[in-house]
Structure 1
Amino acid sequence: MLALRSTAGAVARRSRTSAGRLSLTAIRNAPKASASVALIYRRAYSAPSTDNLSTRSTVVQLLSNIGSKREVQQYLSHFTSVSSQQFAVIKVGGAIITEHLESLTSALAFLNHVGLFPVVVHGAGPQLNKLLEDAGVEPQFEEGIRVTDGKTLAVARKLFLEENLKLVEKLEEMGIRARPITSGVFGADFLDKEKYDLVGRINKVNKDPIQAAINAGCLPILTSMAETPEGQVLNVNADVAAGELARALEPLKIVYLSEKGGLFNADTNEKISAINLDEEYEDLMSQWWCRYGTRLKIREIKDLLEGLPRTTSVAIIHPADLQKELFTDSGAGTLIRRGNKLRTASDISEFYDLQKLKDVLVRDREGLDARATVDRYVDGLKSREFKSYFDEAMDALAIVLPPTTSTSLANLATFTITKSGWLTNIADNVFAAIKKDHPKLVWTVKEDDENLTWFFDKAEGSLSKDGEVMFWYGIENGDEVKDLMTEFTRHGRSMLGDANLEARLHRAAKEASSSLSASVTRGAPQKQHARAFSTSARRPVSRTTMPRFPSSSRGYASTTNPNPPFGSKNSSNTQPARVALIGARGYTGQALISLLNAHPNMDLRHVSSRELAGQKLKGYEKRDITYENLSAEDVRRMAEKDEIDCWVMALPNGVCRPFVDAVEEGKGSSNSVIVDLSADYRFDSKWTYGLPELVTRSDIAKATRISNPGCYATAAQLGIAPLVPFLGGQPTVFGVSGYSGAGTKPSPKNNVQNLENNIIPYSLTDHIHEREVSNQLGVEVAFIPHVGMWFQGIHHTISIPLKDTMSSRDIRQLYQERYAGEKLVKVTGEPPSVKSISGKHGVEIGGFGVHSSGKRVVVCATIDNLLKGAATQCLQNMNLSLGFAEYEGIPLD
């Protein structure tokens, strides 16, 4: 067996499990150590030493209190390997300057004392909002961008200069030279003058002022203001400015300082420790919980990193934890990198470059016979079963020998990672791939391997003997552990993986086995959160799709996969779904037919309407269909033969139960999905309530009985949901619908003459939507419906009492974060209009007018009652349940 050492002096990879990376003292006293470090370096900065080398040495020693000396030296070496401009771009939000100035300046001073010069760009959004609100000016936003008129720009520019000076002066007080750079860096043109007024799109970054500041020994502190070639000052979002600065400087680190200290899993509320985009992005974005501000931020960071070198990474971190994030493997915030995609090979012929393979194996070898030893090892692998894992650049290579008997274990025989591979986290990616393929694994490592703690974190057990450590995972049987330990104690490394290995490889390979040792390392069994975007227990290990319907050859979304790729471009189902529409005469039925006609994977087979029976269906072009008057018995026979994959019930309330019972009675009932557009099953716990933006999407994907929400109820819930934790009383919904909501059956509520110059209130209390919204949100809601004189579209004016004082800006931000990434929900500053939502497939929410007391807000919401209020939402639910991408067939504005 051949086992290779890890690269000497390899920079530790950022797997981010702190238990394996801190010294024993640091682990025992981590909180205490961090506090003491902060106290010491703050005191030092109040009277800085003139001896720079001494100061640097002292600071490095202090850093060792939060990480090992090796970690600190390796990261310092890494950060100083590039020009000063290329160390880091740090974006500082206005709230950080206001609330965490001491932590921020201490962190920046710390970096400067070890010879690093981060480029800092700051904003002042919260301060600007407060100034404008105090002046009685409501901040205006369009699509999340501040509309900046001349008055706002004047206030903003003065404020930015003040905040810049505040940060610079604080650094100077601590003995750190800093230079304010408030112009001359960002060149821009107008983003959209008609829409946003004095807001800029950066088209040029001048690095000279930054370099001049660094050459003078000063930290460059930039404001996020830009100028046109004519000298017009323009407002620019600080995140955008930081991104453009990063594109120009190509730094090793891009740091976003955040009060939250990172991105969070919206389902578990756990901090997302690390994201490797090449390996995890599609899977991560398909998670139902990856939404709102988290989803938007990840997408923006991916776009940024794709244009930068792979060595660049993004960190989202609280300023108080900046040192730990930068100088330890465990980190403290959220680390995002492009990473590297992995390849596998199970035969020597599958390596695209055999010489490259040998070069990789040689790089960890010592001695004059290195090449000859590796040549013999590779020759031995030609007749040997194995599986290898590597990236395209082969910065990482692992070779696993599978078990040869029922009692032996897979053995990690080779594991080699370059410095670049450690820094880009390939080691973790490789090991994750190995663990996916090999549920049980054993390996050995030299006791003095500098990365020993890394392997401890990967293992579930270990045993030391004669300068070597044996690790394993996946062994649950006590007898297996006992046997493994006995064999290792008796025979050492020779027994691992294959007792007959030496007999199968020639003698030279045996010599290589004795001269090369497997490289694997890491501290004690993992107890703290590892650097992964979610815990492995929550991540699906496979994207294999399995038929939902055992009796059908048509493949649907896997019921074993808890997190199908909702809303992604890829569907887990590639076969058309056979659809029957019961109740096709109404407006909703017609709208759904139009959507199904444009859907690439929906095959409408039957439409039922008593009034239109015998007539040809219009608006559907995939096949000729004639309206039928299907009875419950007809439906039962069709279900018996398993002719339909999805039944859509578009019937009035109280009518569809016989048809649902008929489907249930058919032998193929378990093979079909039912989506009911009426209210008949909205309160039935056996049915899944299908509002994807608020209900767990995985629940909808696994459901076969889905109750489609009401139109009024959809808009009301979306309009109230973000504020449920802040309610101070019962919300009241004043809703007005176009007369299409009254259906096609003639009544005073859809009589155009009766509605002219009129508005008709009805069901003023105890409307079924009142009960529906209250039931779903878990709070009592009052609902007062009306009918207006337009055809389609609903407007809600929602009065919401608050338990605590809140500002309009706070509430708007809450909604923007909650619905970020939701393609069918738009949050605006102004109250939305019915005219703009009619014919659209989403919901618009805006207004956010706060009473002078700060204890009541009025939120407005609009929805097209026939589309997102009915047909569009129905198609979302059909897509999810049938295994198609959530928005397939839905026109997105």
Structure 2
Amino acid sequence: MLSLHPTMRRAVASRSLGAFSTAARTIAFSTVRCSTNSFRSRSSLIPVSLSQKRCYARPTEPRLSSTRSTVVQLLSNIGSKREVQQYLSHFTSVSSQQFAVIKVGGATITEHLQTLSSALAFLNHVGLYPIVVHGAGPQLNKMLEDAGVEPQFEDGIRVTDGKTLALARKLFLEENLKLVEELENMGVRARPITTGVFTADYLDREKYKLVGKINKVDKRPIEAAIEAGCLPILTSMAETSEGQVLNVNADVAAGELARAIQPLKIVYLAERGGLFNGDTGGKISAINLDEEYDHLMSQWWVRHGTRLKIKEMRELLMDLPRTSSVAIIHPADLQKELFTDSGAGTLIRRGNKVHSKSSLSEFEHLQTFKDVLVRDREGLDAKATVDRYVEGLKTRGFKAYFDEPMEALAVVLTPQEGSHLAHLASFTITRAGWLTNVADNVFASIKKEFPKLVWTVKADDENLTWFFGKADGSLSRDGDVLFWYGMEDGDDIKELVLEFTRYGRGMFGDINLESRLHRAAHAGSPSLSAAAAQQKRNFSTTGCANALRASRRRPNSVAGQPSRTYTTTNPNPPFGGKNVSNSRPSKVALIGARGYTGQALINLLNEHPHLDLRHVSSRELAGKELQGYDKREIIYENLSAEDVRRMAQNGDIDCWVMALPNGVCKPFVDAVDQTSGSGGVIIDLSADYRFDPNWTYGLPELVNRSSIARATRIANPGCYATAAQVGIAPLVPYLGGQPTVFGVSGYSGAGTKPSPKNDVNLLTNNIIPYSLTDHIHEKEISSQLKTDVAFIPHVAVWFQGIHHTINIPLSQEMTSRDIRNIFQERYAGEKLVRIVGEPPLVKDIAGRHGVEVGGFAVHSSGKRVVVCVTIDNLLKGAATQCLQNMNLALGYSEYEGIPLE
């Protein structure tokens, strides 16, 4: 449930790392154990010792608390509110000066002064006090050039004579004042600190002249500035003990300051915004030095400045707590780097190496292993449960993965005879483990050794998306999500699906070696008492065998609808992997192919590896050759209902697609129904069966995919209706009145038969409203969402594509970011639903296979939101959705044959 009014500061100090929240507790040992209340996929910002003094009285003052709340809302536009609150709690868990040291280059002050100042102002308004150290190299070069002085460098270090130093000192003071004044103009108190912090010796007086090597950092001026509520803005000038001013490289000054301050974060603002891989050209998101340094330094492209930068960062981090990290980031992305899981620049941290053991005898201190398994368990019998679990491991093959301080520990039960499937049985990670990326490292190590893996997780955990990123597929049922990767065997998947669908996680609660799970998939587990297995947990990961063809979706029960399943990030997730439950091509007949939708579907079938189009029926085109299909020569036929009955009786067709106008296809459906068997799958593209309870409504993103997979009669949704439901469904629990959909379609939606609605001359410089009340799609949308919806359709001059502007009254006050979070979580991982910030455009969706949702404009009252949705009416609005349903019903990957971007 979205929290609309969260507390700005979490009581981090009141928790222990071993049991810091009920939400972070996990499992009996049929399940993965995870401490998950605050992980970040690429951050290293971790609260240090909980006994440390916290120096943040000011943000609790009413004025600042109000400002802080406002800025949190603004920050939430770049990430979820959960992420922003989460990182604020980390940053405020240490003393003020230990938040961050930010090095600002001279070019940044010249070219991005307002952007930089705005970013610093944001941080200050939420009670954070970054320490800024700036240089002025480019400005100094220009000033020297204007003064007729030739800049000199030795080994990349500026040779600084007396004249150069005088110019540099004047320039540094000017640039410092420029930044301070810009901050003050934004209402942020800032204090220029131009002397008194860095004491230095001469680096090499003969060679470099007046260049310093810092030997002491005095933190008192910085602490005094912060205590007074001011951002400290430092120049990179130093003095000798005798008072001689010396020039110091700003990067060096920032590093020495970090060694003295020991901050959570050291940020280097750079124009390029990070380090880049020389082979791929892509930005490097994160570098874990303990794991990657040697390999990284052996790469051909790690040379010159890049090599020196990485080496210096490693030397710096070796002098800092493991919780510290370095970020190289563009100034415009500072907030995103600090407050989102994905970050924006290059994150460099030490990380932890991952070790593994495959027997209990390899643990030098077995009790430590047990203590780690116990640390997050609930219940008075935790120790006894762990003892029984460990005893069971003596007779069961397993592999344990952990980092040196055991912030993370995973136990994988190895496949038994006759199976290639491993079972992630335990997964316990501290907050520090999540935030130093150990979770990712451990999972990567597991994946290297086990090509197939299954586990389950509680569906209501706020960090569920991390597991989606690791899985090829998943299925949700009764509050649990079953995950897997590497699964291809359709029979195993079917068997497990039946077990999971029938028994849910209960089938995993009984994990005796002779349990249903063992019999179904040969992946037993050490025995565990039923009582222990039923204890309340936030993250449960149950070893399970092959899983259902499913899709990754947050399970939300909306308006009485069943829980939804999830799709995964894999382009061909099991049920899944390619052709997972069908080892042969499926024969398809298309009844009614003259229209635009029919042609779009033919194009998709032409590229599908397993669907074999055999018959195409069209009265107007009978006898002509089908164009756009290359697998075989097909001549249009004029099939009668009797022809269809005969073909269905003979089993000639596996899937019938009815692409006929409304009210026309019933005789053909009846003909198939008259056969002794099912006659094959029927997918109707008209509205004839969308309200028939004996037919399955085929909108995979909003209907339980397993019901589609089992269906033989599927009603394909309407184009308008698909877009409207996607745009309204996540907010059904928050409705405060009737939603109104203002829809505009391109004229292809009016079909090929001439009419005013597809008359280009009439539509030019025009828009035509039609069927303003009681449109069939209005009934369809309302019926599926179980709430009244008003729908007002229009047609415009473009060919294909639909735009909806949807006005939705709300039952409670929300912000734009709250709404966007709901949509992002609801459609997390859906390959054909894209959540965007700005209102989406028709020209961007035409010819594409998904739906775009955006806008999220909230009225000043907070009780009304306008959501915009675009869809291609011929593709996701018809043909693409039909292919999704065909794939599911025939046992192929849901997205097989659908181009995914």
| Structure 2 partner of 1:270 | 282
CA separation of 1:288 and 1:336: change in aligned 2, threshold 3 A = same
- Do the aligned residues in 2 keep the contact of 1:177 with 1:218 (CA within 8 Å)? yes
CA distance in 1 between partners of 2:110 and 2:264 (Å): 27
| Structure 1 partner of 2:175 | 163
| Structure 1 partner of 2:80 | 68
Decide which of 38, 42, 48 is 1:15's aligned counterpart: 42
| Structure 2 partner of 1:325 | 337
Deviation at 1:176, TM superposition (A): 0.1
CA separation of 1:93 and 1:496: change in aligned 2, threshold 3 A = farther
Deviation at 1:507, TM superposition (A): 5.3
- Do the aligned residues in 1 keep the contact of 2:474 with 2:568 (CA within 8 Å)? no
| Structure 1 partner of 2:373 | 361
- Do the aligned residues in 2 keep the contact of 1:449 with 1:519 (CA within 8 Å)? no
CA distance in 1 between partners of 2:62 and 2:396 (Å): 63
Decide which of 540, 546, 558 is 1:518's aligned counterpart: 540
Match runs of 1:270-349 below 5 Å:
270-349=282-361
Which deviations, in whole Å up to 9, do the C-alpha atoms of 1:817-870 show, x marking residues without a partner?
xxxxxxxxxxxxxxxxxxxxxxxxxxxxxxxxxxxxxxxxxxxxxxxxxxxxxx
Q: Secondary structure at the match of 1:75?
A: helix
Aligned-CA RMSD value? 2.6
Pairing 1:261–2:273 present: yes
Decide which of 373, 376, 380 is 2:385's aligned counterpart: 373
Pairing 1:500–2:510 present: no
CA separation of 1:309 and 1:273: change in aligned 2, threshold 3 A = same
CA distance in 1 between partners of 2:304 and 2:277 (Å): 11
| Structure 2 partner of 1:889 | none
CA separation of 1:6 and 1:326: change in aligned 2, threshold 3 A = farther
Give structure 2 stretches of 5+ with no counterpart: 1-27, 45-60, 519-523, 543-551, 555-566, 572-901
Give structure 1 stretches of 5+ with no counterpart: 18-48, 529-893
| Structure 1 partner of 2:57 | none
CA distance in 2 between partners of 1:510 and 1:488 (Å): 17
Match runs of 1:291-690 below 5 Å:
291-493=303-505, 494=507, 500=513, 502=515, 508-509=528-529, 511-515=531-535, 518-519=540-541, 525-526=568-569
CA distance in 2 between partners of 1:506 and 1:166 (Å): 66
Decide which of 233, 239, 245 is 2:251's aligned counterpart: 239
Q: What one-letter code is carried by the residue in structure 1 that aligns with 2:243?
A: G
- Do the aligned residues in 2 keep the contact of 1:89 with 1:255 (CA within 8 Å)? yes
Q: What one-letter code is carried by the residue in structure 2 that aligns with 1:500?
A: L
Deviation at 1:451, TM superposition (A): 1.5
Q: Secondary structure at the match of 1:404?
A: coil
Q: Secondary structure at the match of 1:73?
A: helix
CA distance in 2 between partners of 1:400 and 1:211 (Å): 49
Which deviations, in whole Å up to 9, do the C-alpha atoms of 1:161-191 show, x marking residues without a partner?
0000000000000000000000000000100
CA distance in 1 between partners of 2:116 and 2:570 (Å): 30
CA separation of 1:117 and 1:427: change in aligned 2, threshold 3 A = same
Deviation at 1:15, TM superposition (A): 3.4
Which deviations, in whole Å up to 9, do the C-alpha atoms of 1:195-231 show, x marking residues without a partner?
1010000000000000010010000000000000111
- Do the aligned residues in 2 keep the contact of 1:346 with 1:387 (CA within 8 Å)? yes
Q: What one-letter code is carried by the residue in structure 2 that aligns with 1:373?
A: T
Match runs of 1:209-248 below 5 Å:
209-248=221-260
Which range moved further: 484-493 or 136-145? 484-493
Match runs of 1:68-87 below 5 Å:
68-87=80-99
Deviation at 1:359, TM superposition (A): 1.8
Deviation at 1:362, TM superposition (A): 1.6
- TM-score (normalised: structure 1): 0.53
- Do the aligned residues in 1 keep the contact of 2:266 with 2:327 (CA within 8 Å)? yes
CA distance in 2 between partners of 1:424 and 1:249 (Å): 20
CA distance in 1 between partners of 2:465 and 2:525 (Å): 32
Match runs of 1:105-120 below 5 Å:
105-120=117-132
CA separation of 1:507 and 1:434: change in aligned 2, threshold 3 A = closer
CA distance in 1 between partners of 2:209 and 2:553 (Å): 55
Q: What one-letter code is carried by the residue in structure 1 that aligns with 2:298?
A: S
Q: Secondary structure at the match of 2:293?
A: helix
Q: What one-letter code is carried by the residue in structure 2 that aligns with 1:156?
A: A
CA distance in 1 between partners of 2:526 and 2:422 (Å): 21
CA distance in 2 between partners of 1:408 and 1:98 (Å): 60
CA distance in 2 between partners of 1:425 and 1:63 (Å): 23
CA distance in 2 between partners of 1:509 and 1:13 (Å): 33
CA separation of 1:510 and 1:404: change in aligned 2, threshold 3 A = farther
CA distance in 1 between partners of 2:367 and 2:257 (Å): 40
Deviation at 1:8, TM superposition (A): 5.2
Which deviations, in whole Å up to 9, do the C-alpha atoms of 1:464-522 show, x marking residues without a partner?
11211111112245555444434432454546999836587775455544446634999
Q: What one-letter code is carried by the residue in structure 2 that aligns with 1:321?
A: D
- Do the aligned residues in 1 keep the contact of 2:115 with 2:332 (CA within 8 Å)? yes
CA separation of 1:408 and 1:255: change in aligned 2, threshold 3 A = same
- Do the aligned residues in 2 keep the contact of 1:4 with 1:364 (CA within 8 Å)? no
Q: What one-letter code is carried by the residue in structure 1 that aligns with 2:126?
A: V
Q: What one-letter code is carried by the residue in structure 2 that aligns with 1:248?
A: A
| Structure 1 partner of 2:192 | 180
Deviation at 1:355, TM superposition (A): 1.9
- Do the aligned residues in 2 keep the contact of 1:410 with 1:497 (CA within 8 Å)? no
- Percent sequence identity is 72
CA separation of 1:249 and 1:234: change in aligned 2, threshold 3 A = same
Which deviations, in whole Å up to 9, do the C-alpha atoms of 1:311-347 show, x marking residues without a partner?
1000111111111111111111111110011111111
| Structure 2 partner of 1:88 | 100
CA distance in 1 between partners of 2:31 and 2:484 (Å): 17
Q: Secondary structure at the match of 1:126?
A: helix
- Do the aligned residues in 1 keep the contact of 2:30 with 2:525 (CA within 8 Å)? no
CA distance in 2 between partners of 1:496 and 1:371 (Å): 18
Deviation at 1:353, TM superposition (A): 2.1
- Do the aligned residues in 2 keep the contact of 1:13 with 1:427 (CA within 8 Å)? no
CA distance in 1 between partners of 2:393 and 2:85 (Å): 38
- Do the aligned residues in 2 keep the contact of 1:178 with 1:220 (CA within 8 Å)? yes
CA separation of 1:435 and 1:199: change in aligned 2, threshold 3 A = same
- TM-score (normalised: structure 2): 0.53
Which deviations, in whole Å up to 9, do the C-alpha atoms of 1:351-393 show, x marking residues without a partner?
2322222221122211212111111111111221100101121
- Do the aligned residues in 2 keep the contact of 1:276 with 1:336 (CA within 8 Å)? yes
Q: Secondary structure at the match of 1:51?
A: helix
- Do the aligned residues in 2 keep the contact of 1:390 with 1:398 (CA within 8 Å)? yes
Which deviations, in whole Å up to 9, do the C-alpha atoms of 1:59-82 show, x marking residues without a partner?
112222222222222211111111
- Do the aligned residues in 2 keep the contact of 1:67 with 1:328 (CA within 8 Å)? yes
Which range moved further: 182-191 or 462-471? 462-471
- Do the aligned residues in 1 keep the contact of 2:41 with 2:466 (CA within 8 Å)? no
| Structure 1 partner of 2:710 | none
Decide which of 137, 142, 163 is 1:151's aligned counterpart: 163
